[in-house]
Amino acid sequence: MKGLRKVTTQHAQQRGQVIIEMVLLLVLMIGLWGTFSKFAKQKKWFESLVSGPWQNMAGMIESGVWEPPQKAISKHPNNFNRVVSLKEQ
């Protein structure tokens, strides 16, 4: 029975070590994520991921052209000068 207890104690120690290592990895990952998110906020990466593509999409929604809304408004079909005369000259 003494040998059986020794194996059980070693197994319990290994489980404890695994738990401690997982907690340390968790703390490390949270720290890295916090540092990355702080850096990304300063560089405005998340903002550019959302607002950059949205500018072209807004132009397409408003005017039907894949450009920013300020440029796309001049290319909207309603701004073309279309004159049709049905009279014969």
> Could you give the CA distance from residue 73 to residue 62 in angstroms, rounded to a whole number?
8
Integer Cα distance of 79 and 82 in angstroms: 9
Distance CA 57, CA 42 (A): 25
3-state secondary structure of 68: coil
pTM for the model stands at 0.47
Report which of residues 18 and 10 the model is more confident about.
18
Of residues 82 and 53, more confidence is placed in: 53
pLDDT digits (tens, 9 = 90+) for 17-71: 889 999 999 999 999 999 999 998 898 888 888 777 888 888 888 888 888 888 8
Residue 42 CA to residue 3 CA, distance in Å, equals 59
Would you list the domain boundaries of the chain?
1-43, 45-89
